[in-house]
Structure 1
Amino acid sequence: MKRDNIRFISGILIFNLIFSLIGTFCFIYLLLHYNSKKKNNYDLALLCKGDLDCSSILQKAIDNSASTGVELYIPPGRYLITKPLRLKSHVKIRGAGQYVTSIILAKRNKDNLSHCAFSCDETQNGIKYAGLQGLAIIYEDEPLPEMSGLYFHKASRCSFSNLVIKNFGTGFRSDLIWMSNLTSVHSVRCLIGFQINRGTSCYLQNCYANVCVQGFTLTKLAYSSLQNCAVDHINQGGLRLGDPKFKLSFAYYFNNCKGITMTGCGAEHSSGGYLQAKRSVITLVGCRSHNIGTQYNGTKKQYLLDLPDKSSKLTLIGCSLGNDNSWTKNSNAAVFRVEKGSSIYMLNSKVSNTAIAKKDVRGQLFDISANPICSN
Structure 2
Amino acid sequence: MFGYNVKDDFNAIGDGTNDDTSAIQNALNAANTAGGGTIYIPAGKYLITTSLTVFSNTTLQGAAQNATIIIQNGLSAHIASKDANYISINDITFKGPGMDASWGGGIILDRENNGNTEGINFKNVTLSGIVGNALTVNCPITSSFTNVKTVGVVGDGFSFISSGTSVVMNNCYAITCTQSGYNLSQLNYSTLNACAVEVCGIGFNLNNNCNNISLISCGAEDDVYRNADYPGIDYKLIGGVGNSLISCYSRNNVDNGAGIVLNGGNPTIIGYRQIGSCANSIIDDSNTHVTLISPSLGSAVNLQPGTVGQSGASSNRPTTNLFVGYQYYDTDLKKTIWYSGTDWCDAVGTTVS
The interval holding the TM-score normalised by the smaller chain is 0.7 to 0.9
Measured after TM superposition, the shift of residue 158 of structure 1 is 1.7
Q: Which has the larger radius of gyration?
A: 1
1:258 is matched with which residue: 207, 211, 215?
A: 211
2:29 is matched with which residue: 40, 56, 63?
A: 63
SS in 2 for 1:148: coil
1:162 is matched with which residue: 124, 130, 135?
A: 124
> Which consecutive residues of structure 2, in runs of 5 or more, have no partner in the other structure?
112-116, 225-231, 309-321, 326-339, 341-353
**Cα deviation digits, residues 58-95 of structure 1 (max 9, x gap):** 10011112233431110000000111111110011100
SS in 2 for 1:167: strand
Whether 2:179 is the aligned partner of 1:218: answer no
- Give the conservation status (yes or no) of the 8 Å contact 1:147–1:170: no
- Give the conservation status (yes or no) of the 8 Å contact 1:101–1:136: yes
Measured after TM superposition, the shift of residue 269 of structure 1 is 2.5
Query: If each structure's helix is expressed as a fraction of its own residues, which one has the higher value?
Result: 1
SS in 1 for 2:29: helix
The whole-number CA distance in structure 1 between the counterparts of 2:324 and 2:84 is 50
User: What TM-score, normalized by structure 1, do the two folds share?
Assistant: 0.71
Q: 1:36 to 1:338 in 2, by over 3 A?
A: closer
Determine the structure 2 residue equivalent to 1:117: 78
Determine the structure 1 residue equivalent to 2:70: 103
Measured after TM superposition, the shift of residue 372 of structure 1 is 4.8
Mapping 1:37-56, distance limit 5 Å: 41-43=7-9, 46-56=12-22
Q: 1:54 to 1:196 in 2, by over 3 A?
A: same
Measured after TM superposition, the shift of residue 350 of structure 1 is 2.0
Determine the structure 2 residue equivalent to 1:315: 268
1:201 is matched with which residue: 148, 160, 166?
A: 166
Provide the aligned length of Structure 1 versus Structure 2: 295
Determine the structure 2 residue equivalent to 1:305: 260
SS in 2 for 1:343: coil
**Cα deviation digits, residues 14-54 of structure 1 (max 9, x gap):** xxxxxxxxxxxxxxxxxxxx69856x543556534341111
Mapping 1:221-236, distance limit 5 Å: 221-234=187-200
Measured after TM superposition, the shift of residue 276 of structure 1 is 1.1
Q: 1:159 to 1:208 in 2, by over 3 A?
A: same
Query: If each structure's strand is expressed as a fraction of its own residues, which one has the higher value?
Result: 2
Measured after TM superposition, the shift of residue 259 of structure 1 is 0.8
Aligned-CA RMSD value = 2.9
Measured after TM superposition, the shift of residue 176 of structure 1 is 1.8
Q: Give percent identity, aligned residues only.
A: 24
1:172 is matched with which residue: 135, 148, 160?
A: 135
> Which consecutive residues of structure 1, in runs of 5 or more, have no partner in the other structure?
1-33, 109-113, 235-248, 328-332, 363-370
Structure 1 runs (4+) greater than 4 angstroms displaced = 34-38, 43-46, 143-147, 353-360
Determine the structure 2 residue equivalent to 1:373: 324
Determine the structure 1 residue equivalent to 2:49: 82
- Give the conservation status (yes or no) of the 8 Å contact 1:45–1:77: no
The whole-number CA distance in structure 2 between the counterparts of 1:252 and 1:35 is 37
